[in-house]
């Protein structure tokens, strides 16, 4: 299973200004996915110069200052002589660049680097503006440090991943250049005309001490999930049509009896899709007054997912407005140790999103399964097969869904409830936020694939209901799908059809078709 990468709905941005204020979700996505260039706000340069001067003033101080004149973690009691402090920073970066496993995706590394640059630009880290300039230059040159899957405990931030990025600034380690070729960092920097950084007091620590990896993955996942939850509303409405269910339960006044905003919005989306449908039974002879939960309760479940996304987005927005470093340079010039690097707030949000992704996919799979069972699909062929027995129809497409859903349920087990002490018990409680983010990426990918199978199946069922006609919105979605996937017939090679549906879920073209036909979907 690969990671879902949904393109942005807005026009591609070409530049992001990094300053003392918070980045937006669009800023992160533009740099991570669209290779937008970054530039530093002059106000940020001023703030960095001011805080770097504070650190420089401490360089000859005889008192211990964490990250300036002491060791790190459990070695914080070790006083470092002035002549060894540059080596201290280099040694920190080299020793902490200890990740292993498969390469982390380019978009994640770019998001991580942008967010670290954003914290540097706040002027709360004591890092010189020249270091931030080099960081920006590496991003703009399309150079991507190699970061391994494993190495972060989410506290003190994403140490190992950030250390691999910091190592590249020193001209050490491996990177991929703008064309994706694996090269030594020294070679990539030279080709781009970038001078390696020579670190001074505290700078090595400030380059690696943040929640940037887990936050970057949270922002990317939220960007994807906002589109997928609307796609889920579309899929559910199409399933209601294909199964000849009732839309009466989605009435606005019924939703107002339980005023969760997500439920309200999902129900409104489903009403918009179903408006004008000729497939919804009514009048004489209709005796089914209640549909199964996977149809009837879709707004409640989908709405709960929407509200969870909104909560996680609030966490992400707060984190984007943060300056995560330890120690931090305060506004009045103090250098103070703190615990802001702990990833717990982000880790909880990441785990919560994995839980609701699994449940959303589970409900989608249950709707798909109803289409295939003659005892529940209200007059359709078994498995939607052309000639059941000779043909198997969508039987195994549901198996594929079930396999994914089963994995998503395992991925829904929270990472943040675990903690393994490190650094000789100095760091005795960690967040595991990086692990929560890694599994969420798989969850988002799996959810997109499950929804793609439901839409493919619902469209086939709707076509098999002919001459009854679906709503105008559904008809437009089915027509868009039929541009890549033929209608019902004898068994065909099914994997490409699932892939085509998945691609249209990914690129948003099915939602675009629905909206173009008058579906005001949020």
Ordered DSSP codes for 293-347 = HHHHTHHHHHHHHHHHHHHHHHHHHHHHT----SSEE-TTS-EE---TT--HHHH
**Tens-place pLDDT, residues 69-92:** 776 665 667 777 777 778 889 999
287: pLDDT strictly greater than 60 = no
**Tens-place pLDDT, residues 397-408:** 999 999 999 999
pLDDT confidence of residue 75:
66
Using CA atoms in the order 46, 50, 51, 55, what is the torsion angle rounded to 10 degrees?
140
Domain tally, the chain: 2
Looking at the structure, tell me whether residues 158 and 237 fall in a common domain.
Answer: no
- Rounded Cα–Cα distance for residues 346 and 316 (Å): 7
In a domain? residue 112: yes
Domain containing 310 — which CATH number? 1.20.200.10
Mean pLDDT, the chain, rounded, equals: 93
pLDDT confidence of residue 382:
97
Segment 326-339 mean pLDDT: 92
Of 210, 227, 260, the residue that ends a domain is: 210
In a domain? residue 10: no
Percent of the chain topping pLDDT 70: 95
**Tens-place pLDDT, residues 39-62:** 999 999 999 999 999 998 887 776
In a domain? residue 9: no
Quote the DSSP letter at residue 248.
Answer: G
Question: How remote is the C-alpha of 190 from its chain's centroid?
Answer: 33
Of the residues 66, 150, 348, 493, only one is catalytic, namely: 66
Looking at the structure, tell me whether residues 66 and 178 fall in a common domain.
Answer: yes
DSSP of 262-276:
HHHHHHHHHHHHHTT
When mean pLDDT is compared across 3-7, 366-370, 505-509, the lowest value belongs to 3-7
**Tens-place pLDDT, residues 338-397:** 988 999 999 999 999 999 999 999 999 999 999 999 999 999 999 999 999 999 999 999
Of 210, 240, 272, the residue that ends a domain is: 210
Segment 159-166 mean pLDDT: 97
Looking at the structure, tell me whether residues 196 and 288 fall in a common domain.
Answer: no
Where does residue 60 rank: exposed (0-12), middle (13-18), buried (19+ CB within 10 A)?
A: exposed
- Rounded Cα–Cα distance for residues 293 and 315 (Å): 31
Segment 183-206 mean pLDDT: 96
Segment 211-218 mean pLDDT: 97
DSSP of 34-90:
H--EEEE-HHHHHHHHHHHHHHHHHTT-SS--TTTTB--GGGTT-B--GGGHHHHHH
**Tens-place pLDDT, residues 288-308:** 778 999 999 999 999 999 999
When mean pLDDT is compared across 3-17, 68-82, 234-248, the lowest value belongs to 3-17
pLDDT confidence of residue 74:
58
pLDDT confidence of residue 156:
80
140: pLDDT strictly greater than 50 = yes
Looking at the structure, tell me whether residues 95 and 121 fall in a common domain.
Answer: yes
Question: How remote is the C-alpha of 430 from its chain's centroid?
Answer: 21
DSSP of 457-487:
HHHHHHHHTTTS---HHHHHHHHHHHTTS--
179: pLDDT strictly greater than 60 = yes
Looking at the structure, tell me whether residues 190 and 238 fall in a common domain.
Answer: no
Looking at the structure, tell me whether residues 428 and 499 fall in a common domain.
Answer: yes
Looking at the structure, tell me whether residues 143 and 280 fall in a common domain.
Answer: no
What are the structure tokens assigned to 486, written together?
């033929």
Mapping DSSP to helix (H, G, I), strand (E, B) and coil, where does residue 286 land?
Answer: coil
* Boundaries of domain holding 323: 217-516
In a domain? residue 4: no
- Rounded Cα–Cα distance for residues 361 and 341 (Å): 33
Looking at the structure, tell me whether residues 139 and 261 fall in a common domain.
Answer: no
Residues contacting 349, CB < 8 A, separation 6+: 218, 311, 312, 315, 316
pTM, two decimals, is: 0.94
- Rounded Cα–Cα distance for residues 502 and 436 (Å): 24
Of 185, 210, 235, the residue that ends a domain is: 210
What are the structure tokens assigned to 253, written together?
């006044």
Looking at the structure, tell me whether residues 140 and 222 fall in a common domain.
Answer: no
Looking at the structure, tell me whether residues 201 and 244 fall in a common domain.
Answer: no
Quote the DSSP letter at residue 135.
Answer: H
Looking at the structure, tell me whether residues 37 and 134 fall in a common domain.
Answer: yes
Looking at the structure, tell me whether residues 152 and 51 fall in a common domain.
Answer: yes
- Rounded Cα–Cα distance for residues 458 and 412 (Å): 27
Percent of the chain topping pLDDT 90: 84
Domain containing 88 — which CATH number? 1.10.275.10
pLDDT confidence of residue 376:
95
- Rounded Cα–Cα distance for residues 381 and 384 (Å): 5
Confidence of residue 245 (pLDDT cuts 50, 70, 90): very high
66 is catalytic: yes
Segment 270-277 mean pLDDT: 97
- Rounded Cα–Cα distance for residues 431 and 411 (Å): 17
169 cis-preceded (ω within 30 degrees of 0): no
């Amino acid at each position: 299973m690969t990671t879902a990468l949904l393109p942005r709905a807005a026009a591609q941005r070409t530049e992001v200004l990094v300053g003392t204020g918070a980045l937006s979700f669009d800023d992160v996505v533009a740099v991570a996915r669209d290779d937008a260039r970054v530039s530093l706000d002059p106000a940020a340069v001023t703030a960095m110069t001011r805080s770097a001067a504070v650190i420089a003033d401490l360089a000859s101080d005889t008192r211990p200052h964490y990250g300036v004149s002491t060791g790190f973690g459990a070695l914080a009691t070790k006083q470092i002589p002035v002549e060894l402090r540059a080596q201290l920073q280099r040694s920190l970066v080299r020793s902490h660049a200890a990740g292993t496993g498969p390469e982390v995706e380019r978009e994640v590394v770019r998001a991580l680097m942008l967010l670290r640059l954003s914290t540097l630009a706040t002027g709360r880290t004591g890092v010189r503006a020249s270091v931030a300039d080099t960081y920006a230059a590496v991003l703009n040159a399309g150079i991507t440090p190699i970061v391994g899957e494993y190495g972060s405990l989410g506290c003190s931030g994403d140490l190992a991943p950030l250390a691999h990025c910091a190592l590249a600034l020193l001209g050490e380690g491996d990177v991929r250049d703008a064309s994706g070729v694996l090269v030594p960092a020294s070679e990539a920097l030279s080709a781009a005309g970038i001078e390696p950084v020579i670190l001074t007091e505290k700078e090595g620590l400030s380059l690696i001490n943040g929640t940037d990896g887990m936050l970057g993955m949270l922002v990317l996942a939220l960007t994807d999930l906002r589109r997928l939850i609307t796609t889920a509303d579309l899929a559910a409405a199409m399933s209601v049509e294909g199964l000849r269910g009732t839309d009466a339960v989605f009435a606005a006044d019924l939703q107002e009896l339980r005023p969760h905003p997500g439920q309200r919005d999902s129900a409104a989306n489903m009403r918009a899709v179903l408006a004008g449908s000729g497939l919804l039974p009514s009048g004489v002879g209709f005796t089914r007054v209640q549909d199964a939960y996977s149809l009837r309760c879709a707004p409640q479940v989908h709405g709960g997912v929407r509200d969870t996304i909104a909560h996680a987005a609030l966490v992400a927005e707060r984190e984007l407005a943060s300056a995560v470093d330890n120690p931090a340079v305060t506004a009045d010039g103090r250098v103070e140790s703190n615990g802001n690097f702990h990833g717990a707030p982000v880790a909880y949000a990441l785990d919560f999103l994995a839980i609701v992704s699994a449940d959303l996919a589970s409900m989608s799979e249950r709707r798909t399964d109803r289409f295939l069972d003659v005892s529940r699909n209200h007059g359709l062929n078994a498995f939607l097969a052309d000639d059941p027995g000779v043909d198997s129809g969508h039987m195994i497409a549901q198996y594929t869904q079930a396999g994914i859903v089963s994995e998503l349920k395992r991925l829904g087990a929270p990472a943040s409830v675990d903690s393994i002490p490190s650094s000789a018990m100095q760091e005795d409680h960690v967040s595991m936020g990086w692990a929560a983010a890694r599994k969420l990426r798989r969850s988002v990918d799996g959810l997109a694939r499950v929804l793609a199978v439901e839409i493919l199946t619902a469209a086939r069922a709707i076509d098999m209901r002919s001459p009854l006609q679906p709503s105008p919105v559904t008809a437009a979605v089915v027509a868009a799908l039929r541009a890549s996937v033929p209608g019902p017939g004898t068994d065909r090679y099914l994997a490409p059809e699932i892939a085509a549906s998945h691609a249209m879920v990914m690129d948003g073209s099915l939602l675009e078709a629905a909206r173009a036909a008058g579906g005001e979907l949020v």
